[in-house]
Structure 1
Amino acid sequence: MSETKTAIVAGGCFWCTEAVFLDVKGVQKVESGYIGGQVPDPSYRQVCGGDTGHAEAIRVTYDPAVLSYRDLLGIFFATHDPTQLNRQGHDTGTQYRSAVFYASEEEKVAAQAVIDEVTAQGVFDAPIVTTLEPATTFYVAEDYHQNYYAQNRLQPYCVAVITPKVSKFRRQFTGHLRSA
């Protein structure tokens, strides 16, 4: 087995992005958490208040021999709306921003290249507003946020918001499905 890498992305509610990436071949672990703010070890309540500067994000541990960073970002951009500034659906505030938190200059360059490619392809009708931010301390969210969708599939938010995102991913990325 090759050495694993991690990627941190924020695409609105972390329950949604976590649910998608748990289905991706090559992903070994997905953790929901908070990054990009100024309050040490914030709680969900603090982050939801919108005053900490953190984004709800996921940290994906993956095998780069199976899933490239660029492919991971391609899935990320296809499974949320990167044209919405500080919001995804009804979730609004900077804590729901679209962001890639890069750990190296190479990751920053790769993320910008993916944004440029998606823009050139005209995938979205509006400009991509995803920020590229240097990775800072990632705080793992409370236990009840981990693997949230799998444990709460019938919860109304999951049915209305997460299930369609997971279904879209499964239709568009059959070659990246864990079970494929």
Structure 2
Amino acid sequence: MSESIGEQASKNIVCLSKNLELEEYRTLIGFIAAACRYEVKHHVKQVLKRTSCFKLIAALFVTGDSERNTVILDTFMPILVRELKTSSKFSQSVHLINFLFSGDEELSKLTHEVCSLIKKKIGDDEYMNRVAMCQKNASEKITDRKRKIRELAVTAPEDAAELKRKKNKKKTEVRKRKLDEIKPYRAMKRRAAEQRKAQENEED
């Protein structure tokens, strides 16, 4: 999906959403949120879906009544708070230069703009309360996940070991990808080595 197609689709959705019943509207917002979560989980380095969805949500929030805006807040504040936290980590990291020249810059800026719009409309107190609640819920999920992992280590040590292995492998891949972004020649050298090895295997 290109950016222009995404923008046109967003305009159509804003127009059509005015005729939806509240439950239908809730379902619509749920689908939009699901698109964001899918991108975070499967294509975290891509930002087109989240960028398009955040713009759409901002447009819906501006034109929506209190009931519909509550639906948006309940569904999207956790996603927005996550992005705020992510962009904050980027800005404090040694990878800031890479971040500033990536699509993450646009997403970070857009996230702050959407949050500012929300804060202006609902007021500082409610906004801060919602942010605090999102942070609390996220922290509780992390704690619960860690507890389940500890329990798994007791009840099913082999499964726990496999889970840990996958987690460490993912961390290694993420670390390698970040280093490749900072030092592109690393990736070039590795690909060249892989090609040489593949050629040697073919010759054998």
TM-score by length of 1: 0.30
Question: Which structure carries more strand by proportion?
Answer: 1
Question: Which structure carries more helix by proportion?
Answer: 2
Q: Which has the larger radius of gyration?
A: 2
TM-score by length of 2: 0.27
